[in-house]
Structure 1
Amino acid sequence: MGYQANPHIQTLLSQVRRGRLQSQRAGLALLSKYRKKEQWRQMPNNKLAIMGAFQRANELGYNLKEFSLSEEGMNFDRLRKILIARGILGILVAPTPDDRLEFEMDISPFAVVCMGQSVRNRQISMVSHYHAHSMQQILQELRRRGYKRVGCSLDVGINERIENAWSAHYHEYQSQIAENQRVPLHLRPTKSQPSNLLEYTAKNKLDVLITDSDRHLHLLRSTGMRIPDQLSYVCLSTSPGATTISGIEQNNQLSGIRAVELLVQSINNGVFGSPESPQYIYIPGKWVEGNTLFLDASSAV
């Protein structure tokens, strides 16, 4: 009949018969590309996501252990051997600090879930912040408040990583407004100079600027610009817990929680390797009112 014993169940039953059932926590691997373990703690949004994953793994009875591909001597071949030797069935891919990860190993023995769009292989299930929704929500808010000349500056690498979700919705918005109010998108090289953003802002006589990092607000204020009196400002990714900057808080802790739940679900359902139909779960962020936008831009002096 083709029956094959499951060694994990056999071990459990053996312990039950002997009356010596051991309390053991199954292992999950957190796969990262950071040069040092727990380097993600220095990145506020990534920290929230990964801490959420650790929290949920513990609640579900799993031990989540980090393995960094950037550690000395670590590579995909060694990693695969370690995970198999330890009986680890699930791999949770941490948000990558720079370029996306390309799996260069046979993942058929493992269930794999990616946190954020950190893996090039689209045949891997993923839980990510809903970047497209964030841009849509911001543009709807600006339209509702009466803003006319809306500019947007994005890091080209980050925008490409999220499959142009930000830029696509910005271009759509610009195509729907009067031609004399349209503002071109500013795509910044990853290592661009601050002067590039300041030139873009001045050249296009903006009412409001959308950017992907709240550090640009500090740059604008360092030039003496009054926010929002001279230029309003809104951010696609405000720092966790910040309440003074208008924009979107990405709710990354929930993304980490949902990623672990999906990974455990895959293990329980026997979904290993690249699934025929991977799941993509998008977690919307939360609007932060802040004080860098006017409630009614049309009446602002």
Structure 2
Amino acid sequence: MRRRSDTPSLARIAEEAGVSRAAVSMALRHHPRIPIATRERIEAIAKRLGWKPNPLLAEAMSAIRAGQPPADRVTLAWVTTFPEREGWRNIHFFSRVHDGADARAARAGYKLEHFWLGDARGNVSRLSDILYNRGINGLIIAPMAAPGPLELAWKHFAAATVGFSVTSPRLHRVTDNHTASVRVGVTRLRGAGFKRIGFALSGNFDRRVNGLWGAGYLWQMHEVGEFQEELLHRPPELDETLFIRWVRETKPDAILSVDRRIPEWLAGAGMRIPRDVAYVNLDIPADDGTMAGVYQDPESIGAACVDMVAGQLLRHERGLPEKPRTVIIDGRWVDGATAPACDPESDAAKEADTLLCNLGKFPELLPSAFD
């Protein structure tokens, strides 16, 4: 007996939209021959009727057109390597990247499932076997607790990773725009009248991002002729006592960092923010205005990872890429209570806008667009 599907047929959508079945098919695949306005109207009708993208069908049709047998692949793996199974969830950025990937996968008709290296007793070969035997060949490698290699059986998988913590092999990756974020922070603070702009950063944390945080600070401060070595505080790990000593000795009028403990440390030392020293965080947890800085948009980073893996699956690409691609997702500047805002019409604000331009949420592309 044939099982009834709740998904509307192309014919039903075509009848409702007053177009041909071929036009519906192309619209739902984002074919360039269909005008954007028409495509959006057809998509809205399809969504109202209950249509959802089907990665099984998309991959099967792609395989047929390529002369290859279709494969049954619907689950993508979120692969983590922290010492504890859920340790990565304690870092808000990592957790929100996962949330973005999970939501994107669901919208595209995939399922995102967590696989922890510890469940394979720390054995990467065993984890590769688990994934392969489950029929999973699309992997998103989450940020690792410490930078290092990850030697899975890559020939079986299409993969993308978040950031730079996987040092080898070279995979497709999605990351935020670290260098531009720092440059925007410096530019915004200068536009608000600050001159002695310090940067407090864990050296080990900077190495997680290939030194791009520190590079952005050095670049912009040299660019404006204001760099002073004493204003860069970059010990292996940030320590409250050493940090407060640095502040008192160098007397910055504003501080950039990615460490959210710093406002507490400053307050504990009797310093008022922003009256005594302004503070900008380059990885604010929310764009609610309580803290000035850059919201890195981790949800969009996760979504982009899903799109990269889905594209490889639909093109039947497996194994290590010959030319790994890096997708950079801009964050967005958020004015907040910890630093005065510069005039939005000032040259500084306009310059900052050219460095970091996030025009909104990541576009909701369909996996079939990669076909």
Q: Take 1:205 and 1:296, find their aligned partners in 2: how far apart are those partners?
A: 22
Coordinate RMSD, CA, aligned: 2.4
What SS does structure 2 have at the residue aligned with 1:84? helix
What SS does structure 1 have at the residue aligned with 2:154? coil
- State whether residues 147 and 165 of structure 2, in contact with CA within 8 Å, keep that contact through their aligned partners in structure 1: yes
- State whether residues 174 and 182 of structure 1, in contact with CA within 8 Å, keep that contact through their aligned partners in structure 2: no
**Is 1:76 matched with 2:124?**
yes
Cross-structure match for 1:173: 220
Cross-structure match for 2:46: none
Q: Take 1:179 and 1:252, find their aligned partners in 2: how far apart are those partners?
A: 31
Q: Take 1:241 and 1:179, find their aligned partners in 2: how far apart are those partners?
A: 29
- State whether residues 186 and 221 of structure 2, in contact with CA within 8 Å, keep that contact through their aligned partners in structure 1: no
Cross-structure match for 2:196: 149
Cross-structure match for 1:282: 328
Cross-structure match for 1:4: none
Q: Take 1:214 and 1:178, find their aligned partners in 2: how far apart are those partners?
A: 28
Q: Take 1:72 and 1:105, find their aligned partners in 2: how far apart are those partners?
A: 12
Cross-structure match for 2:243: 197
Q: Take 1:180 and 1:268, find their aligned partners in 2: how far apart are those partners?
A: 48
Q: Take 1:188 and 1:274, find their aligned partners in 2: how far apart are those partners?
A: 35
Trace 1:79-158 onto structure 2 (pairs within 5 A): 79-96=127-144, 98-121=145-168, 123-158=170-205
Of the candidates 238, 262, 273, which is equivalent to residue 308 of structure 2? 262
- Whichever residue aligns with residue 227 of structure 1, its letter is I
- Whichever residue aligns with residue 199 of structure 1, its letter is R
What SS does structure 1 have at the residue aligned with 2:79? strand
Of the candidates 84, 105, 116, which is equivalent to residue 57 of structure 1? 105
Distance change in 2, residues 1:37/1:240 (3 Å): farther
Trace 1:206-225 onto structure 2 (pairs within 5 A): 206-225=252-271
Q: Take 1:122 and 1:131, find their aligned partners in 2: how far apart are those partners?
A: 22
Greater shift in the superposed pair: 151-160 or 288-297: 288-297
Cross-structure match for 2:352: none
- Whichever residue aligns with residue 202 of structure 2, its letter is D
Offset of residue 34 of structure 1: 2.5
Q: Which runs of 4+ in 1 moved over 6 A?
A: 179-182
**Is 1:293 matched with 2:325?**
no
Offset of residue 193 of structure 1: 2.4
- State whether residues 151 and 169 of structure 2, in contact with CA within 8 Å, keep that contact through their aligned partners in structure 1: no
Q: Take 1:273 and 1:295, find their aligned partners in 2: how far apart are those partners?
A: 48
- Whichever residue aligns with residue 168 of structure 2, its letter is N
- State whether residues 125 and 153 of structure 2, in contact with CA within 8 Å, keep that contact through their aligned partners in structure 1: no
Cross-structure match for 1:45: 93
- State whether residues 56 and 260 of structure 1, in contact with CA within 8 Å, keep that contact through their aligned partners in structure 2: yes
Distance change in 2, residues 1:268/1:228 (3 Å): same
Distance change in 2, residues 1:143/1:239 (3 Å): same
Cross-structure match for 1:16: none
Summarize deviations over 1:36-84 as a string: whole Å, max 9, x none.
4343332211111101111111222222211111346241111111111
Q: Take 1:179 and 1:95, find their aligned partners in 2: how far apart are those partners?
A: 34
- Whichever residue aligns with residue 218 of structure 1, its letter is E
Name the structure where helix makes up a greater proportion of residues: 2
Distance change in 2, residues 1:64/1:227 (3 Å): same
Q: Take 2:142 and 2:157, find their aligned partners in 1: how far apart are those partners?
A: 16
Offset of residue 296 of structure 1: 5.8
- State whether residues 73 and 137 of structure 2, in contact with CA within 8 Å, keep that contact through their aligned partners in structure 1: no
Aligned length: 276
Of the candidates 263, 269, 274, which is equivalent to residue 228 of structure 1? 274
- State whether residues 92 and 260 of structure 1, in contact with CA within 8 Å, keep that contact through their aligned partners in structure 2: yes
Q: Take 2:118 and 2:209, find their aligned partners in 1: how far apart are those partners?
A: 23
Distance change in 2, residues 1:178/1:53 (3 Å): closer
Q: Take 2:104 and 2:85, find their aligned partners in 1: how far apart are those partners?
A: 20
Q: Which runs of 5+ in 1 are unaligned?
A: 1-7, 14-23
Distance change in 2, residues 1:28/1:147 (3 Å): same
- Whichever residue aligns with residue 204 of structure 1, its letter is T
Offset of residue 90 of structure 1: 0.9
